[in-house]
Protein backbone atom coordinates (compact mmCIF):
# COMPACT_ATOMS: atom_id res chain seq x y z
CA UNK A 1 0.00 0.00 0.00
CA UNK A 2 1.10 3.50 -0.70
CA UNK A 3 1.76 5.84 2.25
CA UNK A 4 -0.82 8.32 0.91
CA UNK A 5 -3.50 5.60 0.99
CA UNK A 6 -2.64 4.68 4.56
CA UNK A 7 -2.82 8.32 5.62
CA UNK A 8 -6.18 8.69 3.89
CA UNK A 9 -7.59 5.63 5.68
CA UNK A 10 -6.26 6.84 9.04
CA UNK A 11 -7.73 10.27 8.37
CA UNK A 12 -11.14 8.74 7.81
CA UNK A 13 -11.01 6.43 10.84
CA UNK A 14 -9.51 8.88 13.38
CA UNK A 15 -12.71 10.96 13.85
CA UNK A 16 -14.59 7.80 14.82
CA UNK A 17 -12.21 7.21 17.72
CA UNK A 18 -12.29 10.90 18.66
CA UNK A 19 -16.10 10.78 18.81
CA UNK A 20 -15.97 7.88 21.26
CA UNK A 21 -13.51 9.81 23.42
CA UNK A 22 -15.76 12.89 23.29
CA UNK A 23 -18.72 10.85 24.52
CA UNK A 24 -16.68 9.40 27.39
CA UNK A 25 -15.32 12.85 28.28
CA UNK A 26 -18.82 14.30 28.22
CA UNK A 27 -20.09 11.61 30.59
CA UNK A 28 -17.14 12.23 32.93
CA UNK A 29 -17.93 15.96 32.86
CA UNK A 30 -21.59 15.28 33.62
CA UNK A 31 -20.64 13.05 36.56
CA UNK A 32 -18.22 15.64 37.96
CA UNK A 33 -20.92 18.31 37.67
CA UNK A 34 -23.43 16.06 39.46
CA UNK A 35 -20.88 15.50 42.26
CA UNK A 36 -20.68 19.26 42.80
CA UNK A 37 -17.69 20.54 40.81
CA UNK A 38 -18.54 24.17 40.06
CA UNK A 39 -16.03 24.18 37.16
CA UNK A 40 -17.73 21.11 35.63
CA UNK A 41 -21.14 22.71 36.20
CA UNK A 42 -19.98 25.84 34.37
CA UNK A 43 -18.65 23.67 31.55
CA UNK A 44 -21.97 21.82 31.28
CA UNK A 45 -23.72 25.18 30.99
CA UNK A 46 -21.38 26.25 28.21
CA UNK A 47 -21.82 22.94 26.38
CA UNK A 48 -25.60 23.23 26.50
CA UNK A 49 -25.70 26.95 25.68
CA UNK A 50 -23.61 26.62 22.54
CA UNK A 51 -24.47 23.04 21.59
CA UNK A 52 -21.05 21.42 21.75
CA UNK A 53 -21.45 17.63 21.34
CA UNK A 54 -25.13 17.95 22.26
CA UNK A 55 -28.22 19.83 21.16
CA UNK A 56 -28.40 23.49 22.19
CA UNK A 57 -30.65 23.85 25.21
CA UNK A 58 -30.80 27.20 26.99
CA UNK A 59 -32.96 25.86 29.83
CA UNK A 60 -30.37 23.22 30.73
CA UNK A 61 -27.57 25.74 30.24
CA UNK A 62 -29.19 28.22 32.61
CA UNK A 63 -29.84 25.51 35.20
CA UNK A 64 -26.17 24.47 35.25
CA UNK A 65 -25.03 28.12 35.33
CA UNK A 66 -27.29 28.77 38.32
CA UNK A 67 -26.00 25.76 40.23
CA UNK A 68 -22.38 26.75 39.55
CA UNK A 69 -23.03 30.41 40.42
CA UNK A 70 -24.58 29.36 43.75
CA UNK A 71 -21.28 27.64 44.52
CA UNK A 72 -19.48 30.95 43.96
CA UNK A 73 -18.35 30.68 40.34
CA UNK A 74 -18.23 34.30 39.09
CA UNK A 75 -18.04 33.36 35.39
CA UNK A 76 -21.12 31.15 35.77
CA UNK A 77 -22.96 34.08 37.39
CA UNK A 78 -22.03 36.29 34.44
CA UNK A 79 -23.13 33.68 31.86
CA UNK A 80 -26.34 33.11 33.87
CA UNK A 81 -27.22 36.81 33.80
CA UNK A 82 -26.49 37.16 30.08
CA UNK A 83 -28.57 34.11 29.23
CA UNK A 84 -31.49 35.09 31.48
CA UNK A 85 -31.71 38.49 29.75
CA UNK A 86 -32.70 36.85 26.47
CA UNK A 87 -34.99 34.08 27.77
CA UNK A 88 -38.76 33.94 28.26
CA UNK A 89 -40.07 33.96 31.85
CA UNK A 90 -41.53 30.45 31.53
CA UNK A 91 -38.17 29.10 30.31
CA UNK A 92 -36.40 30.79 33.23
CA UNK A 93 -38.86 29.15 35.63
CA UNK A 94 -38.25 25.76 33.99
CA UNK A 95 -34.50 26.30 34.44
CA UNK A 96 -35.04 27.27 38.09
CA UNK A 97 -36.97 24.06 38.67
CA UNK A 98 -34.28 22.00 36.95
CA UNK A 99 -31.54 23.71 38.98
CA UNK A 100 -33.37 22.78 42.20
CA UNK A 101 -33.57 19.17 40.99
CA UNK A 102 -29.88 19.15 40.10
CA UNK A 103 -28.95 20.42 43.55
CA UNK A 104 -31.22 17.93 45.31
CA UNK A 105 -29.90 15.09 43.18
CA UNK A 106 -33.31 14.14 41.77
CA UNK A 107 -32.00 14.20 38.22
CA UNK A 108 -28.53 13.37 36.99
CA UNK A 109 -29.26 14.02 33.35
CA UNK A 110 -30.22 17.53 32.40
CA UNK A 111 -30.52 16.47 28.78
CA UNK A 112 -33.89 14.92 29.57
CA UNK A 113 -35.33 18.19 30.83
CA UNK A 114 -37.65 20.15 28.62
CA UNK A 115 -40.29 22.82 29.11
CA UNK A 116 -42.95 20.34 27.95
CA UNK A 117 -42.18 18.08 30.92
CA UNK A 118 -43.62 20.72 33.27
CA UNK A 119 -46.96 20.93 31.47
CA UNK A 120 -49.93 18.75 32.44
CA UNK A 121 -51.01 16.04 30.00
CA UNK A 122 -53.64 16.92 27.45
CA UNK A 123 -57.07 16.52 29.02
CA UNK A 124 -59.22 17.48 26.03
CA UNK A 125 -62.07 15.03 25.61
CA UNK A 126 -61.94 13.57 29.11
CA UNK A 127 -65.02 14.02 31.28
CA UNK A 128 -64.85 16.16 34.39
CA UNK A 129 -64.25 14.25 37.64
CA UNK A 130 -67.91 14.57 38.73
CA UNK A 131 -69.12 12.80 35.59
CA UNK A 132 -68.23 9.10 35.16
CA UNK A 133 -66.90 8.24 31.72
CA UNK A 134 -69.56 7.06 29.30
CA UNK A 135 -72.50 8.53 31.25
CA UNK A 136 -74.20 11.82 30.51
CA UNK A 137 -76.01 13.79 33.16
CA UNK A 138 -79.77 13.54 33.02
CA UNK A 139 -81.52 16.40 31.24
CA UNK A 140 -83.95 18.49 33.28
CA UNK A 141 -87.68 17.96 32.61
CA UNK A 142 -90.11 20.66 31.53
CA UNK A 143 -90.40 21.94 35.11
CA UNK A 144 -86.63 22.36 35.30
CA UNK A 145 -86.16 19.41 37.67
CA UNK A 146 -83.72 16.59 37.06
CA UNK A 147 -85.23 13.11 37.11
CA UNK A 148 -84.00 10.85 39.89
CA UNK A 149 -80.87 8.93 38.95
CA UNK A 150 -81.06 5.18 38.83
CA UNK A 151 -78.54 3.18 40.84
For residue 54, what pLDDT band results from cuts at 50, 70 and 90? confident
Phi, psi angle pair for 34, to nearest 5°: -65, -30
* pLDDT recorded at residue 2: 66
pLDDT in tens, 80-101: 999 999 999 999 999 999 999 9
CB 62 within 8 A of CB 92: yes
Report the predicted TM-score, pTM, of the whole model to 2 decimal places. 0.59
Phi, psi angle pair for 36, to nearest 5°: 115, 10
Q: Which long-range contacts (CB under 8 A, 24 or more apart) does 69-77 make?
A: 70/103, 71/36, 71/38, 71/41, 72/38, 73/38, 73/39, 73/41, 73/42, 75/42, 76/38, 76/41, 76/42, 76/45
Whether residue 13 has pLDDT greater than 70: no
Amino acid sequence: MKPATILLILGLIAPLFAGAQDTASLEQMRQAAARGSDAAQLEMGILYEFGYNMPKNEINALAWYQVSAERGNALAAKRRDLLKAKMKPEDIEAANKLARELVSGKTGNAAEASPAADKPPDTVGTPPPSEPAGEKPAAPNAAGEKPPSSP
